[in-house]
Amino acid sequence: MADGDLTPRQYAVLVAVAQNEGVSQTLLVEKTGVDRSTLADIVRRMLKKGLLQRRRTKEDARAYAVKLTEEGWRVLKSTDPLAKRVDDRILGVLPGQQRERFLQDLNLIVKALGKLQAGNGADSGE
């Protein structure tokens, strides 16, 4: 993506953290649909790149709260236009009504997966 080595999953994590400042990694799993171990690895790499910072939560000393760093915000803002162009290009192949239906169906899938993950008792986590 825009800054060279930002993957689509890393971009998704940046967006999810930006929209849910101080989110736990457990909730990031629900928000992104990325499995726990993969998400933990992504977060570790993004910490090393200086895109994220994390701290133990006050509510649960086992859980981490994740926030964007200034560099994380900069990378997100510089990557957003490219991500929008990619989305527009992908969705552009569908006529208007089909595009709306496709996005509605995707939202249903994401919500259903979130409920499944929440029902599986995701614990606090890395």
70 alpha carbon, distance to own chain's centre: 17
> Helices in 2-95 by DSSP H: which ranges?
8-19, 25-32, 36-48, 70-91
**Cα(29)–Cα(16) distance, rounded to whole angstroms?**
10
Question: pLDDT tens digits, the chain, 126 residues: what are they?
Answer: 544 578 889 999 999 999 998 888 888 888 888 888 999 999 999 999 999 999 887 777 778 889 999 999 999 999 989 888 988 999 999 998 899 899 899 888 877 876 776 666 544 343
Give all domains of the chain, ordered by start, each with its CATH number.
8-119 (1.10.10.10)
